[in-house]
Structure 1
Amino acid sequence: MTDHFAGDVARRYDESSAAMFAAEVVEPAVDVLASLAGDGRALEFGIGTGRIALPLAARGVPVAGIDLSEAMVADLRRKEGGAALDVVVGSFADAQVDGEFSLVYLVFNTIGNLTSQSEQVACFANAARHLARGGHFVIEVGVPDLRSLPVGQTGVVFAMDEDHWGIDEYDVANQGLISHHFERVDGELRRNSIPFRYVWPAELDLMARLAGMELRRRWEDWTRSPFTSESRQHVSVWRKPPG
């Protein structure tokens, strides 16, 4: 698995994703995750620079993490409270953290960073391996936006402003997606392209069943809005059976 979040990407991550760090985005997610963690520990797959982990830990939930990017973890370590978190550098498809957890979670489309079905299946198995009986696995991810893809074309513009253009390039036959970002930084135009594997809700449910977990909830967002055919994303909660 290639680290696409090294170097300049890591240095600028918080700035380029500033909207996702806003309190109105973070707090509803932390509310849901804290309630699911209860009195137990939480493990974040793809902990990154701590956007969710640090405020969750500030609620009193013991948080650990796994992340492939040493640069992102180094940025996390520099933040208040970051050095206290138990973080393993590696792929969340198979890397291990000691102990059991009442909650494993994976947010902001990060499941797509695993670019093969076998890796995504392994991720669910890894979540189940870390969970205590009755624990929950949570994923926040977009619904594949294929309805925006014109017949005969492979690209969709998802962002366009003075300093940033974003284009999603689809490989429908293989459920592949490359997000191309063209940004003006210090007067220079820079390109960053990151591959993903998009995945459907029903496919995720099957991965959960293979890992011995069952779907408990599916919402459109962290405020628990109903998930419908028009929803552009979902927050799904699976449970490892108790007993």
Structure 2
Amino acid sequence: MDYDIAAYGEQRPDYDSMDWALRHDQEEASAFLAGLAPGGSALELGVGTGRVAFPLARRGLKVAGIEGSPTMAAQLEGKRDGESVEVLIGDFADVKVASAVDLIYCISETFFLLPSQESQLRCIRNAAARLTDRGRFVIQATVPDHALFCSTQSTLTRNVGPQGAIVAARRHDRAEQRVEVQNIVIRGRENTFYPMHYRYVWPSELDLMAKLAGLDLVSRSGGWRDEPYTASGSYVAVYGKN
């Protein structure tokens, strides 16, 4: 399979069992997001298996999501337990929804899966165009690690255990800010490969994209609990119409 924006999910038919690849911040994330649009409408870009969309719906919001991978969307459908989360299949850079929404959000560096600066800017512009006047656009991202990206190739050991290991091999295009990753899960004599391509964005670049789309930075924190922003690691940026 050629790699495109849908390939991330299509090659992860067992996503919810990949504990090493998951964040476990869904309750904190849903509480933070619900506070931005209490009782309103929300749209998740790259909804995946609904890890945050379902708890957000349980907090009283009307939630929809865009997902490029039919495999991911099928996993979401299999997790329903009375919650109403509408799923649209497509490229989330297009942000195609029929009516304006109060909250559009993109979590867990999913925004970086958009392959080019052009597609990332298009995504933010389309999101801005579909927000209500007092709506909010939220991105959870990571400040790029200088030490990690100083070389064009690197490896990272994610996990080592008695039954195997998980290793990430990276190739980095510094000029384009693109990284090709192959996550290799080694179990006994079997290897499973989980590729991922992404284009990282610096916080200042993200702010400029938002400004070009007619959005201003409302807040930036170190996480869903409003931790201080330290210009390293994970952060949450909130934007509103200017």
Structure 2 counterpart of 1:219, one-letter code: S
2:186 equivalent in structure 1: 184
Between stretches 130-139 and 186-195, larger displacement belongs to 186-195
Matched, 1:110 2:117: no
* Contact kept in structure 1, 2:9 and 2:48, CA below 8 Å: no
Given the two structures, how large is their TM-score scaled by the length of structure 2?
Answer: 0.90
Q: Structure 2, unaligned stretches of length 5 or more?
A: none
* Contact kept in structure 2, 1:54 and 1:82, CA below 8 Å: no
Q: Structure 1, unaligned stretches of length 5 or more?
A: none
1:211: how far off? 0.8
Query: CA RMSD for the aligned pairs?
Result: 2.0
> How many angstroms apart in 1 are the aligned matches of 2:100 and 2:203?
26
**Deviation string for 1:66-106 (max 9, x for gaps)?**
01001101111111247732211001111412221110000
> How many angstroms apart in 1 are the aligned matches of 2:155 and 2:21?
21
> How many angstroms apart in 1 are the aligned matches of 2:23 and 2:154?
28
Given the two structures, how large is their TM-score scaled by the length of structure 1?
Answer: 0.90
Matched, 1:217 2:216: no
Superposition map of 1:1-243 within 5 A: 1-9=4-12, 11-17=13-19, 20=22, 22=24, 25-81=25-81, 84-150=84-150, 152-157=151-156, 159-161=158-160, 162-184=164-186, 187-229=189-231, 231-241=232-242
Between stretches 118-127 and 183-192, larger displacement belongs to 183-192
* Contact kept in structure 2, 1:175 and 1:197, CA below 8 Å: yes
SS at match of 1:32: helix
Question: Structure 1 residues 239 and 81 mapped into 2: Cα distance closer, same or farther (>3 Å)?
Answer: farther
Pick the structure with more helix per residue.
1
Question: Structure 1 residues 29 and 80 mapped into 2: Cα distance closer, same or farther (>3 Å)?
Answer: same
* Contact kept in structure 1, 2:144 and 2:201, CA below 8 Å: yes
1:192: how far off? 2.2
SS at match of 2:171: strand
**Deviation string for 1:177-216 (max 9, x for gaps)?**
1121001358511222211001000000011011101000
Runs of at least 4 residues off by over 4 Å: none
When the two structures are aligned, how many residues end up with a matched partner? Answer: 236
SS at match of 1:108: coil
1:160: how far off? 3.9
1:155: how far off? 1.5
